[in-house]
Amino acid sequence: MKRIYYSRTMLALLLLVSSRILPAQDLKKSTLQIAYTRSTFRFLDKQASPLVYHANLNGIALAYEHTAPKSRRYIKFQAGLGTALPKEHGAREFILSNTDFYGETTTVSVLHAPTLYLGQLEAGYLRRLQVKGNNQLFAGISLQEWIGYSDNIGFWSTWGMNSLALNAVLQYEKSFFPNQKFRIGASLPILALVSRMPYSNSISDPEKGDFRAFFAEGSHLTFVPQYQRINLDAAYQFRLNYHWQVGLAYDFNWQHYSQPRSIRAYQQAVSAQVNYLF
């Protein structure tokens, strides 16, 4: 009887200690994430074309996150590609004909279906503002690099835009059960370095090359009146065991820049995530 009583007492003590320790350990952890992303991107760049372009993109996302008792830091990368088509016209076919010296005419048809490339890299640092039960609130800053490129927008015009923004970030997280979690976040740029093609929509600088000339000629430090961007995200995560977690996420961003001619764009994405916790 004494052994049974002793065993039950030790078991109760272990459960009590573990209940005190596990929540504290959960506040300090690291996560590696890989995700498949399906997104849509729609934009109107009056400098490149009067048409609204729409693209469906497939992509991949990678992320690392570390949560400490009072802070959280992360780095995220995502990239995608797809075909950008004018909303009203779809894929367009151009027929080019040429008559040679002997009067023979050759005809070539070209399908106009631009490939669009989008990429984003973001690193952030957040401070934990409060913890109430299963609710957590974080606030901080992030440095976000976004780039879009296509070599065939409009009538075979190169299209490119890059923004490097310092964002104010707010994040809310709620745990429903020990293995389920929901998170929403929002961020807005405080200032940004925005790079676009020049007004002529062409780059010509043999001394620098196209890549360097793009940033040298088309980069401007901007603030809220000239450049606006809204980033929203939400994620649901289900923990399978101590190390593995799966989830679904939704991201939305809208941006507008007025110089030298207006561009408006928005993107929304759905991601299937696999996380490794350690």
| Joined tokens for residue 142 | 């992030």
Among residues 212, 120, 203, 127, the alpha carbon closest in space to that of 168 is found at 127
Residue 62's pLDDT is what? 98
Q: Which residues pair with 231 in a beta bridge?
A: 187, 253
Mean pLDDT per 10-residue section of the chain, whose length is 278 residues? 48 43 55 98 89 95 96 98 84 74 78 88 96 92 96 75 97 92 97 85 68 79 92 97 96 93 95 97
Q: What are phi and psi of 192, to 5 degrees?
A: -155, 150
| Joined tokens for residue 143 | 């440095």
Residue 208 lies in a domain: yes
Residue 38 lies in a domain: yes
Residue length, the chain? Answer: 278
Residue 260's pLDDT is what? 81
Residue 4 lies in a domain: no
Show the domain range for 96: 28-277
Residue 56's pLDDT is what? 96
CA distance 194 to 223: 10
Residue 108 lies in a domain: yes
Residue 216 lies in a domain: yes
Residue 77 lies in a domain: yes
Residue 1 lies in a domain: no
User: What would the pLDDT profile of 174-229 be if each residue is shown by its tens digit?
Assistant: 998 889 999 999 999 999 999 988 766 667 666 766 777 778 777 889 998 889 99
Cβ proximity of 235 and 61 under 8 Å: no
Q: Which residues pair with 67 in a beta bridge?
A: 29, 72
**CATH number of the domain encompassing residue 268:** 2.40.128.100
Residue 23 lies in a domain: no
DSSP state letters, the chain: -HHHHHHHHHHHHHHHHHHHHHHHHHTSEEEEEEEEEEEEEEEEETTT-SSPEEEEEEEEEEEEEEE-SSEEEEEEEEEEEEEEEETTT-SEEEEEEEE-TTS-EEEEEEEE--EEEEEEEEEEEEEEEEEETTEEEEEEEEEEEEEEEEEEETTTEEEEEEEEEEEEEEEEEEEEETTEEEEEEEEEEEEEEEEE--TTS----TTTHHHHHHHHHHEEEE-TTTEEEEEEEEEEEEE-SSSEEEEEEEEEEEEEE-SSS-EEEEEEEEEEEEEEE-
CA distance 196 to 215: 8
Q: Token match 């913890």: residue?
A: 131
Per the confidence metrics, is the pTM higher than 0.85?
no
Q: What is the total count of domains within the chain? A: 1
CA distance 150 to 132: 47
Residue 197's pLDDT is what? 80
